[in-house]
Amino acid sequence: MGYVEGNCPKCGTKIRESCNAWVYGSPIRTCPSCKSEFLDKRFREVAIDGFDPRANNTKLYFFGFLGFLVFTIVCAGWLIAMINAQQSYPVKLVGCIVVGIVGTVGCAVVLLRQMTGYI
């Protein structure tokens, strides 16, 4: 989940809203302070504007998948070498492996969704 920040064009109140990665949602926003409505063009109405082209970028997720996979394998190999050499290991390396696995699986899921047309 991400956040979009901005100021109300009428009263200037700083507004921070949660949004998804592609900032989908109605561009008609309501200021929580003065209750005025305004258009925030950063929000993308899927029914009108369609999906963000980056969401269908198969190349990005393919190389992301490969990158995370290589990162995970390198970290796992490094961890095994550290355990063999010192009988101990840095916990940060385990964290890197967890991040690598999450990134690999995440990219694989998005890639599969793109390839099957289920977005």
> Where on the chain is the footprint of Zn ion (CB under 5 A)?
8, 10-11, 13, 31, 33-34
Q: Which is nearer to Zn ion, 28 or 102 (CB)?
A: 28
Taking the complex as a whole, the smallest distance from the CB of residue 19 to Zn ion amounts, in Å, to 19
Q: Which is nearer to Zn ion, 21 or 34 (CB)?
A: 34
Angstrom distance (rounded) from CA 70 to CA 77: 10
Taking the complex as a whole, the smallest distance from the CB of residue 15 to Zn ion amounts, in Å, to 8
Residues 6+ apart with CB under 8 A from 20: 1, 2
Report the interhelical angle of 58-86 vs 91-116 (nearest 10°). Answer: 150
Q: Which is nearer to Zn ion, 20 or 30 (CB)?
A: 30
